[in-house]
Amino acid sequence: MSGTSSAPGTLEQVRAFLNTWRLPHETRTPADDLPALITRAADWRAALPDIPRPHPRDLDELLTLRADLRAALGRTAPAGLREWFERRPVQVTVGDEAQPLCYRPGDDCAAAVIVAMVAAALAEGQWARLKSCPDCRNVFYDHSRNRSRTWCSMYAETPDGRACGSISKVRAYRKRQRPGR
């Protein structure tokens, strides 16, 4: 896992959940790991240890949640998530000095746990730093000071870095070089 793309705390679990939908570079055909993951207990635990494995009948709800969360990426106040907070209410309780407020799921189903994780990230101002790469749609956490990162891994500084920014720059350069344009 890339240290430069990982999100802090439980938001990393949400990021992993969002990246179960992928657009592989080789095929550019969307791939969805969620339907298979839901049926394999050991794989689910390895990939999303803090999220209870859902029942297969809950798959549709999770697919909708994932799509709505992806649509809400990068926003400080995503109005599109209002319905989820009504549907899966989050309990707010007093924690300790390090974390004065705790955001607890209303029940222990996967969707409720994910919504509570998103609530904590919104409250901490971390949610808006979670972004989807415009090229490969990979979800990454923007650690930059002024939240200026656009691509998943601009210079492929890490083993799993895809260097989408560099790839798109080369593409734009080649387009400019083409005669008659």
Closest contact distance (angstroms) between CB of 166 and Zn ion is 10
Q: Mapped to the 3 state alphabet, what secondary structure does 127-176 carry?
A: HHHEEECCCCCCEEECCCCCCCCCCCCCCCCCCCCCCHHHHHHHHHHHHH
Q: How far is the CB of 146 from Zn ion (least distance, A)?
A: 20
Q: What's the closest the beta carbon of residue 99 comes to Zn ion, in angstroms? A: 32
Query: Which of residues 28 and 175 has its CB atom nearest to Zn ion in the complex?
Result: 28
Give the nearer residue to Zn ion in terms of CB position, either 4 or 10.
4
Helix axis angle for 59-71 and 11-18, nearest 10°, is 100
Shortest separation between residue 172's beta carbon and Zn ion, angstroms: 15
Pairing type for strands 130-132 and 139-141 reads antiparallel
Q: Please, which of residues 106-145 interact with Zn ion by CB under 5 A?
A: 133, 135-136, 138
Tell me which of 15, 131, 149, 162 binds Zn ion, using CB under 5 A: 162
Q: Contact 151/165 with Cβ under 8 angstroms?
A: yes
Which residues contact Zn ion by CB under 5 A? 133, 135-136, 138, 152, 162, 164
